[in-house]
Structure 1
Amino acid sequence: MIAVTGANGQLGRLVLEALTTKGASSVRALVRSPEKAQDLASSTVSVVEADYNKPETLAGALKGADRLLLISGSEIGQRIPQHTAVIEAAKTAGVKLIAYTSLLHADSSQMALAVEHKATEEALKASGLAYVLLRNGWYLENYDSSLAAGLQHGAITGAAGDGKIAAASRKDYADAAAAVLVDPDSSSRIYELAGSPAFTMSELAASLSEASGKEIPYTNMAKDDYAKMLLQAGLPEGFANIISDSAANAAKGSLYGSSEDLEKLIGRKSLSYQDYVRAFVAH
């Protein structure tokens, strides 16, 4: 049996779809509120409660599972104890392998986001369980708000300078996770998952200009100025700081990778940023 945490989230739902497509016959969707996720249930997918913040729900939810996809929690600052609780519950339940959605170059990245991912990776390595580290690059969907703002205001802003970003779609990362979970030969391994082709924010703006027929330039800002702009736009301070930190580190190459791991796992090219932008504009 394959278990998936955070199964009612955007990535989790896509993983369940991918597992179904790949013929997985027994999948357990672990969710915080089962009553809100009954549409996930099917002849091959069962839905059970598993709340990161309620450790008592975890071991029972994992009982009988051979493989677990631990999708990183969304509560920044709380993820280390949450993930550790899942890992301990997995050991208690007899899970044999844990795949974890980490961050590109998590062991060396200077991004603030990398801290909790690195700690989780270390907990997995110390657990004694077999593990797979799915070091996901940036999601193309992370730029939805930038693309929308570009169409509305005629410019894209950020703090990534000329840094290359190897982003892929959420579906690409979900398909990669599913491929690992259904592979009987999966064992402790690290995948650096980067999309192709990589792009700069100026190239993203140029693609948006081409798709929309409007001239939409990219305006680069200092990290602190970008954070202030995000605050003024209504983002919570912590989130604004994370976004500005990530952008500033992208300028230093933290979101770039040339590994072909992603395309090898999914058996095709990852969705290009140009195609993603065209679809965004058309939608």
Structure 2
Amino acid sequence: MTLLVTGAGGHLGRLVVESLLERGTPARDVVATARTPEAVADLAARGVQVRRADYDEPASLDAAFAGVDRLLLVSGSEVGRRVAQHRNVVEAAGRAGVGLVAYTSITRADRSTLVLAEEHRATEQLLAASGLPHVFLRNSWYLENYTAQVPTVLEHGAVIGSAGTGRVSAATRADYAAAAAVVLAQPDPARTVYELGGDTAFTLGELAETLGRVAGREIAYRDLSADDHTAALVAAGVPEPYAAVLADGDRGLSEGELFTDARDLSTLIGRPTTTLEQALRSA
């Protein structure tokens, strides 16, 4: 069975390929696609089939998907363009006769009010209408969204946000990637929707407290209004449209939109998910 992972040049896609290999999938049965194949040349050296695929170029998708049995569509990174790009992938998968398409979506995409959920919901609808067998992998936030901020937080002694006491079920990219590999390689996916998130959700206040304990110093959480949060991000150099999306993420977090207690992630990977403290210590 030939398994294809799109976006293998990115963080999540590469980790899925690595997880497939670690789980025992023969390298010759794994296809890794990227806009720039040179970016994954090391995978080719290990026997993985490397093919060029650009979500904006249907012809490249047709060539890449030839002979593929199952496909993981890693959502594109270009917010505002993803529906058209994902449509190209779904249509190419249909032309190639792909037997299963798994898609990396977002928590409760079918009813989420998050701005970021709109394109995920539209993609889920595209897949449902396509007639292709499919699985939705609805990922909550990445822990890396927070660990990447550690140097700045330590510099200023505070986590800023506008999430109130809302809890987020964040998990590491590696955990999400392992779950995607399980779903892609298992004989028959047991379900069509998985709500994926870390075993132990946390508030941003608890994030600050945990980082303080790990770093051995006091870290505060400063809860701002959405407007003030956006302004603070812009002042820090974040483009205003993206700053507004980030603040909207905290708004959703405050309303429970990135929380799940389904335990689908740890069930799929067969172990507890990486904890916030473990991730912060690694960072």
Structure 2 length as normaliser, TM-score? 0.97
Determine whether 1:50 maps to 2:16: no
1:178 maps to 181
- Describe how 1:1-283 pairs up with structure 2 within 5 A: 1-25=2-26, 26-186=29-189, 189-280=192-283
CA shift, 1:22, in A, is 1.1
Corresponding letter in the other structure for 1:94 = G
C-alpha distance after superposition, 1:92-114 (max 9, x if no partner): 01101000000011111110000
Gaps of 5+ in 2: none
CA distance in 2: counterparts of 1:148 and 1:49, whole angstroms: 36
Further displaced range: 34-43 or 160-169 = 34-43
C-alpha distance after superposition, 1:241-264 (max 9, x if no partner): 111110111011111110111011
CA distance in 2: counterparts of 1:127 and 1:44, whole angstroms: 32
Further displaced range: 86-95 or 230-239 = 230-239
SS in 2 for 1:90: helix
CA distance in 1: counterparts of 2:220 and 2:233, whole angstroms: 18
CA distance in 2: counterparts of 1:132 and 1:42, whole angstroms: 30
Aligned partners of 2:32 and 2:51 also within 8 Å: yes
Further displaced range: 175-184 or 269-278 = 269-278
CA shift, 1:215, in A, is 0.6
CA shift, 1:187, in A, is 5.9
Aligned partners of 2:4 and 2:68 also within 8 Å: yes
Aligned partners of 1:131 and 1:187 also within 8 Å: no
Corresponding letter in the other structure for 2:196 = L
CA distance in 2: counterparts of 1:9 and 1:33, whole angstroms: 11
CA shift, 1:43, in A, is 4.5
Further displaced range: 182-191 or 252-261 = 182-191
The percentage of aligned residue pairs carrying the same residue is 48
C-alpha distance after superposition, 1:191-247 (max 9, x if no partner): 000102110000000001101111111000011111111111111222111111101
Aligned partners of 2:158 and 2:219 also within 8 Å: yes
Corresponding letter in the other structure for 2:4 = A
C-alpha distance after superposition, 1:168-194 (max 9, x if no partner): 000000000000011011265100001
CA distance in 2: counterparts of 1:183 and 1:95, whole angstroms: 16
Aligned partners of 2:147 and 2:279 also within 8 Å: no
SS in 2 for 1:41: helix
CA distance in 1: counterparts of 2:38 and 2:143, whole angstroms: 30
Aligned partners of 1:132 and 1:187 also within 8 Å: no
Aligned partners of 1:24 and 1:44 also within 8 Å: no
C-alpha distance after superposition, 1:17-63 (max 9, x if no partner): 10001111211111001123211214441111100111221011000
CA distance in 1: counterparts of 2:276 and 2:147, whole angstroms: 12
CA distance in 2: counterparts of 1:139 and 1:66, whole angstroms: 28
* Number of corresponding residues: 280
CA distance in 2: counterparts of 1:144 and 1:276, whole angstroms: 7
Cα 1:199/1:91, change in 2 over 3 Å: same
SS in 1 for 2:149: helix
